Amino acid sequence: MEQEKGPKMLVITIENPLATAAGLVGNILSFLVVLAPMPTFYKIYKKKSTEEFGSVPYMVALFSAMMWIYYGALTMDYLLLTINVGASLIETAYLVLFLIYAPAKPRAFTLKLVSLLNVGGYGSVVLFTMLFLRGGRRTNIAGWICASFAFSCFVAPLSIIKQVIRTKSVEYMPISLSFFLTVSAIAWLGYGLLLGDMHVAVPNVVGFLFGIAQIIIYLIYKNAKKDETKTKLGNQDAEAMAAAVTSGSDIELPEKLSTPLAEV
């Protein structure tokens, strides 16, 4: 059934106190999610290098925020508008900083994808829905496009999870981002359900599951490098002691190697 959703989605009203409360909490938590990569970009700024950090998650996040702005404008949902306008500005700042310090190849790739996705893709969606769709159908199509890219935002960290498993290091997967992503997904899931807006609710089920997965991966690998270092130092100590015994001479172990494992 094609039906305009605009009046139903006007959420800053006493008629929807629970939905409004959930949306406000979602705004606060989502803002923290958007701010979570700030230590990463501060590190990039200090080192003047992007190291192994990639730009794809931030480009996808920017596109998603831009699409939610469009959907929020169609539905007159001010709580969606406020957080996504702010998110768009911050994600843009992240990408600008990335472009400043990225090597030539990643910079060229980022500029190409921004042009295709954030300019060409977004413009095409808005133009198509404005010219060829009307009323509730336009809102519904725009909503599911938003939901699909929300899925992409939640799935984007899979590359980081793969890197954590491969390197046994959580350096490139901040736990703060995973935590706030999870609780933010819970808030927006409640918001969507209370409003009966499945475009908001459905992708946040996936967001919650992926957030939990990231936290579990972090807990598994957070001490992996330390344990590996301790094992390596222990093996070096043993080899040095064996060499000393074999040669029959008194060999003074290097200070780093003779440090008790408990103190490493």
Per the listing, tokens 């899925």 go with: 151
Full pLDDT tens readout for the chain, 264 residues: 444 444 444 444 557 788 999 999 999 999 988 888 888 899 999 999 998 788 888 898 899 999 999 999 999 999 999 999 999 999 999 999 999 999 999 999 999 999 999 999 999 999 999 999 988 899 999 999 999 888 877 776 677 788 888 888 887 677 777 888 889 999 999 999 999 999 999 999 988 988 888 888 898 888 876 555 444 444 444 444 444 333 444 434 444 444 443 444
Measure the CA–CA gap between 156 and 150, rounded to whole angstroms.
10
For 221-224, the CB contacts below 8 A with 24+ separation are 221/164, 221/165, 221/168, 221/169, 221/170, 222/170, 222/175, 224/168, 224/169
* Residue 31 near residue 85, CB atoms below 8 Å: no
What span, in angstroms and rounded, lies between the C-alpha atoms of 154 and 229? Answer: 32
Distance between CA 215 and CA 161 in Å, rounded? 10
Are the C-beta atoms of 152 and 12 separated by less than 8 Å?
A: no
- Long-range contacts formed by 190-196: CB under 8 A, 24+ apart: 190/22, 191/19, 191/22, 191/23, 191/26, 191/79, 194/16, 194/18, 194/19, 194/22, 195/8, 195/9, 195/11, 195/16, 195/19, 196/8
Phi/psi-derived region of residue 2, left when phi > 0, alpha when psi is between -120 and 50, beta in every other case: beta
The rounded distance, in Å, linking the Cα atoms of 84 and 75 is 14
* pLDDT for 237: 46
pLDDT at 259: 41
Chain center to CA of 132: 33
Residue 88 amino acid letter: S
Predicted local confidence at residue 167, as pLDDT: 84
Buried b / exposed e along 176-198 (16+ C-beta atoms within 10 A):
ebbbbbbbbbbbbbbbbbbbebe
Q: Specify whether the CB–CB gap between 14 and 71 falls below 8 A.
A: no
